[in-house]
Amino acid sequence: MRIFLISLYFFSTLIILDAQKPEDTEVWEPEPKQISLDITNVPSDAIRLFDGRSLEHWTSEDGAPAQWLIQEDGSFQVKPGAGAIETKEAFGDCQLHIEWKSPEIIKGEGQGRGNSGLFLQKRYEVQILDSYKNRTYSNGQAGSVYKQYIPLVNAMRPSGQWQTYDVIFKAPVFNEKGEKTESGQLTVLHNGVVIQNNITLLGTSEYIGPPKNMPHREAPIMLQDHGDLVSFRNIWVRRL
């Protein structure tokens, strides 16, 4: 009897295994949308936030036209004192590409050298700073999530050279009571190198004091005026 049961189990297992086909584990729907890439690798489903010519996608914080200066080389530059600029459109989860450059002529040190900032949802800062041979607090150097996460490495090209950030952002989620139910998350590549690996945002980037977690909806991408002549070009974003 026992041998009979064991053989029954054995053969039935074989029959079940035999009944499985490769097709059983194939999933065909949905089919990913076909996109294309242009010669500079901008995906066709991206929103170009700067095309080298106009700041039409940007505004000053008070709603007035963005005052930053468009350069002859197809970049634009911080206009010190003009204040931050932000996108007219609000964003939640997204993939963002941005290129930036600190001044060729080195001026200042620490936080005073080539300082700007990329703010997701106007609240979460990926630091922009000339951190090439320029020591400052580690959680405030280029590629840090300001005062929250130190970059894994310093991937800076020398001062005055173009740098790239590629950011994958998952926005925090708040419920009707205003409580945070899901934290934000960030991955950042600096010049193609992973420097923030899916970190969990603790809240807003604050210069003084701990991060805050006030509820908010989708919000603009903002670039900081920290008084330094930082340039930007080739900015695009994809909603996720």
Contact residues for Mg ion, defined by CB under 5 A: 115, 117, 224
CB of 75 or CB of 141, closer to Mg ion: 141
**Chain Cα centroid distance, residue 157:** 19
Shortest CB 159 distance to Mg ion, Å: 16
Shortest CB 177 distance to Mg ion, Å: 32
Shortest CB 226 distance to Mg ion, Å: 5
Shortest CB 113 distance to Mg ion, Å: 11
Closest CA to 46 of 91, 86, 105: 91
CB of 94 or CB of 223, closer to Mg ion: 223
CB of 115 or CB of 141, closer to Mg ion: 115
CB of 75 or CB of 131, closer to Mg ion: 131
Q: Which residue has the tokens 């002549």?
A: 229
Task: Let me know the angle formed at the C-alpha of 131 by 129 and 135, rounded to the nearest 5 degrees.
Answer: 120
Shortest CB 26 distance to Mg ion, Å: 48
Shortest CB 110 distance to Mg ion, Å: 12
4: Cβ–Cβ under 8 A, 6 or more apart, which residues?
none
CB of 46 or CB of 125, closer to Mg ion: 125
Helix, strand, or coil (residue 42): coil
**Chain Cα centroid distance, residue 26:** 33
CB of 226 or CB of 238, closer to Mg ion: 226
Strands 76-77 and 231-239: antiparallel
The structure tokens listed for 172 are 């925090």
Residue nearest to Mg ion (CB): 117
Distances (CA, A) of 40 to 29, 74, 84, 220, 235: 31, 14, 27, 25, 12
Q: How far, in Å, CA of 97 to CA of 49, rounded? A: 10
